[in-house]
Structure 1
């Protein structure tokens, strides 16, 4: 069994993310205010999401009691999973085949953490390369409840003000 090539995976995630962001900024010229990558606890998928300022403002105006929710929840954003679809379909197929075929060489929890860390480090690197100017940046896992880890990802990917706003909002869940 050949080990999962995290270096190649990293390159593929970065290229797919760049393609998704280029597509989003073309589609929503001057409007993109947030970008996310998200996966699931089983590490079977990886998808992008993007939000626009006008869409965010509309949602927040319609539901002013949940403004932070709309800011930080990619499932509620303008475009979820419909960017660079071929790239992300290939990445999801790679993850799905690896997990379902059990071809990873470490324990599943370790493999999952390595995938998540790779994705976050790609976003972090791209942030430093100025790909996400003036955007909220999110990595999230569907049906995942680890507030400390989520807050840490947000802290790594955003400025301190946004990170603290996320931490406070996430902590308010109880």
Structure 2
């Protein structure tokens, strides 16, 4: 698989998805955007959340609802055809190598890395700020999978130069306490 081509496809799809979500939900104050995959590296999907959705969150779990894409209002919404094509491409590649664990681990790591790189590129280009006029919380996550704590911290620091970063890192410090 040519990961540079995949990276461009994911970037184009992410931009389109965010634009579509923002167009539909800007009145709800979109504050976050994520790309996420699964442990089997078969999918890449977008997610976004809004401040309006957070109003309904239980105060005790407010940070969880604020920062956990699995709980966000808009999952797998936007650039449907583009993300479906990406997922089909990933599954086809996986089908060709289904018995090779070493190949899979490299493939999975490269896919996850590409997703983080795409979000970082969009952040560095001020893509989200140009559309919303404000900072957006960015994250890459994987369903049914836990990153090592330091790896997750690195992702958060890499993708966020804003107040969300410090709040998320402070919240992380409470985990397991």
Same fold (TM over 0.5): yes
The reply to whether residue 115 of structure 1 matches residue 143 of structure 2 is no
| Distance of 2:66 and 2:93 partners within structure 1 | 33
- Say whether residues 1:168 and 2:170 are aligned partners: yes
Hey, what does 1:6 align to over in structure 2?
Answer: 3
| Unaligned runs of at least 5 residues, structure 2 | 130-134
* Residues 29-49 of structure 1: CA deviation (Å, up to 9, x unaligned): 252110011001110111000
Deviation of 1:160 after TM superposition, in Å, equals: 5.6
Structure 2 residue matching 1:37: 3-state secondary structure: strand
Number of positions where the alignment pairs a residue of Structure 1 with one of Structure 2:
167
- Pick the aligned partner of 2:126 from 130, 149, 174: 130
Q: Distance in 2 between the 1:15 and 1:26 partners? A: 17
Q: Distance in 2 between matches of 1:58 and 1:159?
A: 27
Moved more, 120-129 or 155-164: 155-164
Alpha-carbon offset, residue 132 of structure 1: 1.9
* 1:72-111 equivalence runs, <5 A: 72-102=67-97, 107-111=103-107
- Aligned equivalents of 2:10, 2:154: Cα separation in 1: 20
Which of 161-170 and 149-158 deviates more? 161-170
Shift of 1:145: 1.7
Query: TM-score by structure 2 length?
Result: 0.87
| Aligned equivalent of 2:56, options 45, 58, 81 | 58
Deviations 1:96-129 (A, max 9, x none): 111122189x722121111111111111010111
Q: Residue 48 of structure 1: SS of its match in structure 2?
A: strand
Q: TM-score, length-normalised on structure 1?
A: 0.89
**Aligned mates of 1:111, 1:150 — CA distance in 2:** 19
State the partner residue of 1:142.
Answer: 143
Q: Is the 8 A contact 2:48 2:74 kept in 1?
A: yes
- Contact kept, 8 Å, 2:21 with 2:77, in 1: the verdict is no
**What are structure 1's unaligned runs of at least 5 residues?**
none
